[in-house]
Amino acid sequence: AASNFIAAKQFAFEALVVGRQKLEDFDQSFLDALQVSRSGLAEDNYEIAFRAISAALALKPKHPDAVELKLQVDALPAQLDLIEKASIARNENNLRLERDALSKLIALAPSRTLQGARLVAVEQELKEAEFAVLIDQSDTALSDKDIKRAKKRLEKAEKTFKGRRVTANLRDRITN
């Protein structure tokens, strides 16, 4: 009876060790899947991110980190579509379309700093272009002796960029 007890105790101990190892393997599989999904997401690789987060959720369907990551993975295709639209617009030198795509992208994913910086640059370029058009229109109106229109365009230009020398020079020409 004592030998049966010792054998049973040894069996229980081994089962405990195996069980713990299985739990550790299970947890490690979950963590590995989360990491692969995060890497796929960081690389804008939807396929890898999706497969890995699906595997993680199969292991632990209600784990908050996995559920949150799944939301991010699900949002990736829309982001990639907007990145592509912005890229096409940039290649076509269409600043307005590029700005629109980048604005939507940043609204969806504010952490995209590269595209956020590009959005700031595009908005500045558009502002500069608008300013140049207003100055040109004001100058043309002045040449046509349309002082009222020249002043209106100049005022809009001054609202766009205050204190620029070109606006001061144009104002001097209009008032003289």
Alpha carbon distance 72, 69 (integer Å): 5
Query: Which residue, 126, 123, 131, is CA-closest to 103?
Result: 123
pLDDT tens figures, 111-134:
999 999 999 999 999 999 999 999
Alpha carbon distance 121, 115 (integer Å): 10
Q: How many CB atoms lie within 10 A of CB 63?
A: 15
Q: Residue 17: what pLDDT? A: 79
Identify the helix (H) or strand (E) that includes residue 131.
Answer: helix 113-143
Q: Kindly tell me if the per-residue pLDDT of 1 is higher than 80.
A: no
Listed in sequence order, the residues at least 6 apart from 137 whose beta carbon sits closer than 8 Å to its beta carbon are 149, 153
Q: Kindly tell me if the per-residue pLDDT of 162 is higher than 80.
A: yes
More confident residue, 176 or 93: 93
Alpha carbon distance 6, 53 (integer Å): 45
Query: Which residue, 38, 76, 31, 75, is CA-closest to 56?
Result: 31
Averaged confidence pLDDT in the chain: 93
Q: Residue 175: what pLDDT? A: 86
Average of pLDDT values for 52-60? 97
Average of pLDDT values for 55-70? 97
